[in-house]
Chain A
Amino acid sequence: MNAKPKFAMYWAASCGGCEIAVLNTHEKILDVDANFDIVFWPVAMDAKYKDVEAMEDDSILLTLFNGGIRNDENERLAKLLRRKSKILVAFGSCACEGCIPGLANLSPVGDIVYTAFNTITTDNPNEIYPRTTVDVPEGELHIPTLSKVVRPLEQVVDVDYFMPGCPPESHQVAAVIDLVIDVIKGKAELPPKGSVIGVGNSTVCDECPRTRNVKMVKEFKRIQDIAPADPTLCILEQGVPCNGPATRSGCNARCPQAGAQCIGCYGPAEGVIDYGARLITAFASVIDANTPEEIEHILDGIPDPTGQVYRFNLAGSLMKATKSAWEKA
Chain B
Amino acid sequence: MDNDHFEPTIIGFTCNWCSYRASDLAGTARMKYAPNVRLIRLMCSGRLDPTFVLRALSAGADGVMITGCHPGECHYIEQNFKALRRYLLLKRVLSGLGIEPERVKLVWASAAEGARFASETTLFVEEVRKLGPLNWGKPAAGLENLQEEISKLEEVPA
Contact = CB atoms under 8 A, between A and B. Distances in A.
Contacts of B138: 326
A323 B100 CA distance: 10
B156 A129 contact: yes
Nearest to A132: B154
B50 to A, nearest CB: 4
Nearest to A286: B85
Given A110-B150, A132-B154, A327 B140 contact: yes
A134 B129 CA distance: 46
Interface size on B, as a range, is 35 or more
B15 interface: no
Nearest to B155: A129
Contacts of B95: 306
A280 B156 contact: no
Contacts of B81: 290
A277 B54 contact: yes
A292 to B, nearest CB: 7
A327 B139 contact: yes
Interface in A268-327: 273-274, 276-278, 280-281, 283-285, 287, 289-290, 292, 295-296, 299, 302, 304-307, 309-310, 317-327
Given A323-B97, A327-B140, A281 B50 contact: yes
A139 interface: no
Interface centre among B93, B138, B139 (most CB of A within 10 A): B93
B2 interface: no
Contact of A326 (B53, B54, B57, B136): B136
Contacts of B50: 274, 276-277, 280-281
B137 A290 contact: no
Contacts, number: 131
A76 to B, nearest CB: 15
Contacts of B146: 148, 329
Contacts of B49: 277, 281
B147 interface: yes
A111 to B, nearest CB: 10
A130 to B, nearest CB: 7
B39 interface: no
A309 B93 contact: yes
Contacts of A310: 93
A179 B93 CA distance: 40
B58 A319 contact: yes
Nearest to B58: A318
B85 A284 contact: yes
B54 A295 contact: no
Closest 5 CB pairs of A and B: A306-B96, A329-B149, A323-B98, A284-B85, A277-B50
11 contacts: A128-B157, A129-B156, A146-B150, A277-B50, A280-B90, A280-B93, A290-B84, A299-B89, A323-B134, A323-B136, A329-B152
Given A128-B156, A326-B139, 11 more contacts: A113-B153, A126-B157, A129-B156, A280-B93, A284-B88, A295-B88, A299-B89, A305-B93, A318-B54, A323-B97, A329-B146
Interface of A: 106, 109-110, 113-114, 126-132, 145-146, 148, 273-274, 276-278, 280-281, 283-285, 287, 289-290, 292, 295-296, 299, 302, 304-307, 309-310, 317-329
